[in-house]
Amino acid sequence: MKIIVVSGYAYPSIEPWVLSSWLPDLTFLGNFSYGITAEGGVVDLNDENLIQAAYTAGVKPMMVLTPLDESGTFNDVTAGILLSNPQARTNLVNNILQTIQRKGLAGIDFDFEFVPVENRQDYVELIRQTKELLGPQGYYVTAALAPKTSDAQQGSIYQGHDYRQIGEIVDYALIMTYEWGYTYGPPMAVSPINQVRKVLDYAVSEIPREKILMGMPNYGYDWKLPFVKGETRAEKMSSGGAFWRAQYYGAEVIYDQLSQAPYFTYFDSAGNKHVVWFEDIRSIRAKLALVEEYDLAGVGYWNIMDYFPANSEVLNEMYQVRKL
């Protein structure tokens, strides 16, 4: 049985029973999220509950670092200012190490999305500098990367991530193979397997397979129809919640073969038609099979704030989880 790395992102507000249910199946726990200042400071996270629970279960707790400012808001402007300033980057690297040592974390996971294209190389250098300082001390350095299909892919979420250079540096790279179906987008599977394959085909051409973690969604969306671009906002929901809703409305769950994902439609009490795309035991198994097919290091779940037993059931049926 193949042994794989499994990571999962969690907020400190996670229900204790949900966290304890997930921990036996995790290698890394991503504590979401620490933030940054333009000068290279680290915005702390009150995550002692996550750290303690992780170590008790033999899981490595990681500092997830995103461009959150001191108000808790994602701020790409701050990220650009920081990345453009070599001294600020050095300050950040030193502050990362101090925070990890002070709190007893196992390492850092960089999750900088929408990196300005002009700061693409600066971001590589930040990760490289961090690895050079933290690696010799036994800390892990990982990064989450946008789901690209080529290096030339256009779009603000893609252009700032250099797969090859970042892949050379980090211990593991999580490829965010989810959010095709998303809050403001048209109804579709969150992680359609035909699209995931395209991303993995590119990823393995740039990053060593033994470093790649494939993103796994632990949620679905409910869209009210008709979809109106710029107006429709899908409701995010757990897979368990989706099953409950299908049952409540007496909806038939249909499995889409192309995307390898389930969906159903229903009419609410006001007569509005809805469509729900989510994950079930079949879609989970189909995605997890790609780890073996592509010979990847493992998977990373976004996120583990809800517990869906099928995730654990299929994971343990197919693989053994690595404990470091």
Active site residues: 113
What are residue 274's DSSP bridge partners?
224, 266
CB hemisphere CA count around 13 (13 angstroms): 2
DSSP for 187-251, please give it.
S--SS-HHHHHHHHHHHHHHS-GGGEEEEEE--EEEEESSP-TTT--PEEE-HHHHHHHHHHHTP
What are residue 28's DSSP bridge partners?
7, 60
DSSP for 69-119, please give it.
-TTS-B-HHHHHHHHH-HHHHHHHHHHHHHHHHHHT--EEEE---S--GGG
- How far is it, in rounded angstroms, from Cα 33 to Cα 14? 13
Report residue 260 as tokens.
Answer: 């390898």
Count CB neighbours of 210 within 10 A: 11
